[in-house]
Amino acid sequence: MLINLETTKPPEEVRKSIEEKAKAKGFGIMAVHEVHNILQSKGVPIDYRCLIVEVCSPKHASTVLSKDPYISTAMPCRIAIFEKDGKTVVSTIAPTAMLESFDRPELRFVAEEVERLIREIMEESL
């Protein structure tokens, strides 16, 4: 399941806000990928801006990774910011949906908390 939100703010403004809000909620910024620039440099451009901000909560990461190292394949959380139909879309895969791939129902409370925080970060950045 995707969590999708829209705004009229430009992607770069949303990116900056996401980084600030994530840090305020205890998340670290692992990386920011300017996908449109990367593709342009490889000679295969797209005609819109697309950014991916990777965020991670050390507290939550430690909890899930101490139970199951395979969950690291779904980490860190990625928030995509891209232009579509004259709007800026902010999108992520719901952590609760990702957790279903790992058959670890005892970690659902962690995924729910991370999902709530990610949604807050996204909503507060619009």
Q: What is the pLDDT of residue 73?
A: 97
pLDDT at position 28: 98
What is the DSSP secondary-structure string of 44-103? ---SS-EEEEEEE-HHHHHHHHHH-GGGGGG-SEEEEEEEETTEEEEEEE-HHHHHGGGT
pTM: 0.96
Tokens in use for 86?
């004259």
Per-residue pLDDT of the chain (126 residues), as tens digits, is 999 999 999 999 999 999 999 999 999 999 999 999 999 999 999 999 999 999 999 999 999 999 999 999 999 999 999 999 999 999 999 999 999 999 999 999 999 999 999 999 999 999
Residues in Cβ contact with 70 at an 8 Å cutoff, skipping those fewer than 6 apart = 102
Domain holding 59, by residue range, is 2-124
3-state SS assignment for residue 13: helix
Looking at residue 123, its pLDDT comes to 98
Number of domains into which the chain is organized: 1
The CATH number assigned to the domain holding 72 equals 3.30.310.70
- Collapse the DSSP code of 25 into the 3-class scheme (helix H, G, I; strand E, B; otherwise coil) and give the result: coil
d(CA 86, CA 19): 23
Which candidate, 85, 5, 89, places its Cα nearest to that of 50? 89
The pLDDT of residue 43 is 98
